[in-house]
Structure 1
């Protein structure tokens, strides 16, 4: 997670309805984690109305604010609080594994059992994002509850007309001091995939090249969104699993070579873009955007 902008998750009436379902879902948590329908190779069978991004076409990453889409751009990612871009393939950004800034009351106060705790009982935060609490994915019951709450954002994305969703912070297990496992987070990711596929939306794995094919086989992801796979020499790991179904965002403040050299490289994904680290809107100081 090299760059990320806050997402205000669904609230109000939607939250009330979700909380009313929590008690009823606990006994069914393990059953709800059964795999989605799979093909002979173990990967998810997409429904007839589920479409993937047009990989190879230019993309833009607009998490810091929405702006007019360049004529040659065909894929746009925006925050779940935004409207999808018109006339292009639209991906909705959702933070799935930790809270958002300003959202502490919803989790730490209203649902304290869903926040990961240290040995002293203090809520564990992401050291790089000190106002974000890591969610506790360690049991089927907790995963089910988190899925219901975050699932409201996924379904809001579908209602707004997004074509797909990317789920951020899949790698919280690496910041949990051993309290969470890869298996815990993949099990929750599979629940998110079920919600997305149930609304005819594709779902993307965000980062975590170390998963190998487990993100696709165990969590039913359809494609990958990676930050700086060229910079960290990880693009091949995603290509081995997803082939051309990869979108890469490189950043201007840590690019090892000029961007035209990135574009000329056979190692980079077909859809590779360059953005400023803060993902500011077009016209704002520091804005940068290029694509191969």
Structure 2
């Protein structure tokens, strides 16, 4: 879960632009022709607000799935990037185009961000078809992977009596739906369930593990050959980059608004 700020709605969709020169090599082709499996150490860009800057020279981009059209994903592919589709799968957002499809019965307490409420993840009869459509969108736009956010409701006051077992079932449902569509899937934060979920996911996305002294808990991903895409917001790079490099994390400093600015390790 994002620690402070939600992703901002993009004011304008970015139109695809022509790309000069040949594309960079594929960051991690899948050996069996299945979904992408990002390896540890890949540099990345995470931009969820502002006009997208497609020129950051990294092999992986993580961008909002709703805010960007297929043309933007295709442009990033021409530039040699793999592209991750950011989605909130554990919370309802009133500003999304499918918001009115979520019945009131599955909407819980606010999660701290304006216009967002926790979802009753036990209600897979309702949520599975809704999330399947969202993942269809990611696939149809050409994304390579999905970053499912707000997937730690069981550790928060949601208005529902969610358990760790409920969360594990929902994680695995989202992972199955993503894999069925040829998409890699990440684990967003939720470090407590890494031992159970490591076989089900392809990479991790983490915020502030250095600030909260949690980065060592992500080591199983690297040991399994799976990337950890990591961002800090408050610590200077000198405070977290040396240890992040030792662990094999893909780390950078970002602003809370997750605009184009970045300072990589």
Task: Name the residue aligned to 1:51.
Answer: 36
Task: Name the residue aligned to 1:4.
Answer: 6
Task: Name the residue aligned to 2:21.
Answer: none
Give the deviation of 1:110 after TM superposition: 5.4
After superposition, the C-alpha distances for 1:221-245 in whole angstroms (9 at most, x for unaligned) are 1211101111111111111245352
Query: Does the residue aligned with 1:212 lie in a helix, a strand or coil?
Result: helix
Query: Does the residue aligned with 1:233 lie in a helix, a strand or coil?
Result: coil
Matched, 1:150 2:128: no
Give the deviation of 1:268 after TM superposition: 4.9
Give, in whole Å, the separation in 2 of the partners of 1:110 and 1:204: 24
Name which one, 1 or 2, has greater alpha-carbon Rg.
Answer: 1
Give, in whole Å, the separation in 1 of the partners of 2:98 and 2:34: 38
Give the one of 231, 236, 240 matched to 1:262: 240
Give, in whole Å, the separation in 1 of the partners of 2:178 and 2:32: 11
Give the one of 101, 109, 114 matched to 2:106: 114
TM-score, reference length from structure 2: 0.78
Would you identify which runs of 4 or more consecutive aligned residues in structure 1 move more than 6 Å? none
Distance 1:247 1:161, change over 3 A: same
Q: Which runs of 5+ in 2 are unaligned?
A: 11-30
Give, in whole Å, the separation in 2 of the partners of 1:60 and 1:190: 26
After superposition, the C-alpha distances for 1:180-222 in whole angstroms (9 at most, x for unaligned) are 11211221221111111111111000001122312224xx112
Query: Does the residue aligned with 1:60 lie in a helix, a strand or coil?
Result: strand
Q: Contact conserved, 2:204 with 2:221, CA < 8 A, in 1?
A: no
Give the one of 167, 173, 182 matched to 2:148: 167
Task: Name the residue aligned to 2:24.
Answer: none
Task: Name the residue aligned to 2:167.
Answer: 185
After superposition, the C-alpha distances for 1:77-127 in whole angstroms (9 at most, x for unaligned) are 0001213233211111010011114359935x85122223xxxxxxx211x
Query: Does the residue aligned with 1:203 lie in a helix, a strand or coil?
Result: strand
Give, in whole Å, the separation in 1 of the partners of 2:238 and 2:36: 30
Give the deviation of 1:267 after TM superposition: 5.0
Q: Contact conserved, 1:5 with 1:63, CA < 8 A, in 2?
A: yes
Matched, 1:67 2:53: yes
Q: Contact conserved, 1:236 with 1:267, CA < 8 A, in 2?
A: no
Give, in whole Å, the separation in 2 of the partners of 1:264 and 1:271: 12
Matched, 1:129 2:113: yes
Distance 1:146 1:223, change over 3 A: same
Give the deviation of 1:55 after TM superposition: 2.9
Matched, 1:194 2:173: no
CA-based RMSD? 2.5
Matched, 1:277 2:250: no
Distance 1:290 1:268, change over 3 A: farther
Give, in whole Å, the separation in 2 of the partners of 1:187 and 1:290: 36
Q: Contact conserved, 1:164 with 1:201, CA < 8 A, in 2?
A: yes
